[in-house]
Structure 1
Amino acid sequence: MFLEVQNLSVDLGEFYLDNVNLSLDKNSYMVIIGPTGSGKSVLLETIAGFYRAEEGKIFLEGKEITELNPENRGISIVYQDYVLFPHMNIFENISYGLKKKTNDKEIIKSKVLKMAKLLKIDHLLHRNPDTLSGGEKQRTAIARSLIIEPRVLLMDEPFSAVDVSTHAYLTKLIKNVIADYGTTCIHVTHNFNDVWNLADKVAVMKEGKILQQDIPTEVFSKPSHNFVADFVGIHNIFEGKIIEKEGSLTKIKLDSDLIIYSSDSSEDSGKILVGIRPENVIFSNETFVSSVQNQIKGVVNEIVKVGPIVWIEVKIGEINFKGILTPNSCEKLKIKKGKNIYLSFKSVNVKIIDKKEFYTP
């Protein structure tokens, strides 16, 4: 394993890490998500060496770096507020760390120009930071960190201060540059688009702990913790009990004695949670012949239009299901509050979340 964090604990009072474990392959890109105050930035800064671990160890390329000073770790960090030197032009900012590794002016000039071209800021090298846009400043900060060819690049919400279109442009650009340099990266963000556009692996943090880390499709489609399920947008999270196995299906009883079927298996015969993503719920005015194992009738309880989609809440007994439709589909189905409607969803889309510890919001 290229980077490995083992049982890491840090206590800074309001912010802390609690027995964090993390692993990352060489040249991979991990994105860390979680609510504000969950310890994401503290984790990056502890890996970088800014905070000392009270417990646990950090390994890089098989060697322990837990007690090494930041300058000896081969790790660079980029913050959301750029931290550029205001008295230096862009060339001088980018070359700052490189000058500590070599005095050869031609090598410095060549490497700065190459990096600046890759990040499309080569026309700005003579400018001062205060004349640049937010996106240009961030590309300069990333160039300064990458040019020294760190073993690991840490980025703490690097795109949060730029507008949506600049964010999309930077995401594509940075992905290509980091791939070109073969850099291992850990990126903290609140933007799920960064997960899908950049990450080989995603970790979800809460209250100083990593609750789950895996490839994005696994975390978003089959969370292992109900907080993760809620955080990544599953929305339909219900408590239930496994009744029995029926062939390849698991029969589950929810509140109000509602029976649903899942393709997942679980060794837990007691309390479980199930999650159903709202985009996997199909609405219809009547039942239909299909391979879909779950078709249930309810009453439209709430209708909320959010941009180009409409959130529909359907009450079934004491349970509220949420699904999404386009405005055109709502019109065709004549959706309105109080209307009877059928919900259908495949058993493969009913995910069992069988963690022993349940999060209560």
Structure 2
Amino acid sequence: MNNVSGTVLYFTLSGFSTTVNYKAVLFSLTLLCYFLIVFVNLSLILTIIMDRNLHEPMYIFLCFLCINGLYGAAGFYPKFAFDLLSDVQVISYVGCLFQVYVLYSNVKVDYSILVAMAFDRYVAICRPLEYHSVMSVRNTTLLLSLCWIIPMSLDTTIVILASRLKLCGSRIDKLYCENWSIVKLACGSTTANDIFGLVVISFYICHFLLIALSYTQLVKAALNSKEGRRKFMQTCMPHLFCLFNVTTALLFDVMYSRYGSGSMTQDLKNFMAIQFIVFPPILNPVIYGLILTKIRNRMIYLIQITRHGKRQASGNRLSYSQIIIIQCDQ
């Protein structure tokens, strides 16, 4: 039973209607994608934690960016993989609101951390003599706390507003739950939800403007010296790539959610709906791992140590077997 006394108990995720014929392939790709996300993010997290030389604000922000990638993936992939193998794709009302909270807060935390990283690069290149006082342990901790507390407070409000709506339907035209899909099912007024949604969008547009302003100053500073250009290319380019990656993915999702065309095929809708959960958590750590010299060198060193350890273990096993043979011959 889906509706009791006007209260929706379950939502149907109708985005799975086109996946019937290739469930096994999608399930395999989902597991592969989830494994890649866990592997690349966990590798970067452990690399930063294990190397004291990487205990600097920029790398600490990066570490939490990867932690957030794991957090967002955990809110989508297990449920998505389960739905691919199920005959009926439904999610409980409470589970739907929880998924909205996790996925929305994941994107907002991502963007907030990228803003903090832009500020860190601005101070490092434009005000290098003040860097250690401005980006102190206390200030770095405060920035990180705000990067998590503000988005999660906003999403708590979003979920509360959504939970107050009386719904006249239970069909969500997506592969997962999202706030705008729930709001569209409301019978009554959604003014409060719409206004708060515009406030949140405006708030994160201001984030983008702050990043643009900081990079205007960064480019000016980088052009003035060879050292500034070197720092910009080494530490700012990966940040720009990740920023473009997250912004593009987010714009696709916002445009699709609010202005999605009815003429689009369901497969295209599905791709636009999930690309912000697929690409940023994989590409962000890969981009930083390949471009940032300290991280790249540290990861290469750890791989070499691991291989060396395996060779030593193999050599030890070989020596032991040789001893056994000699003993048998005697």
TM-score bracket for the superposition, by shorter chain length: under 0.3
Q: Structure 1 length as normaliser, TM-score?
A: 0.22
Q: Structure 2 length as normaliser, TM-score?
A: 0.24
Higher relative contact order (CA 8 A, sep 6+): 2
Higher helix fraction (1 or 2): 2
Higher strand fraction (1 or 2): 1
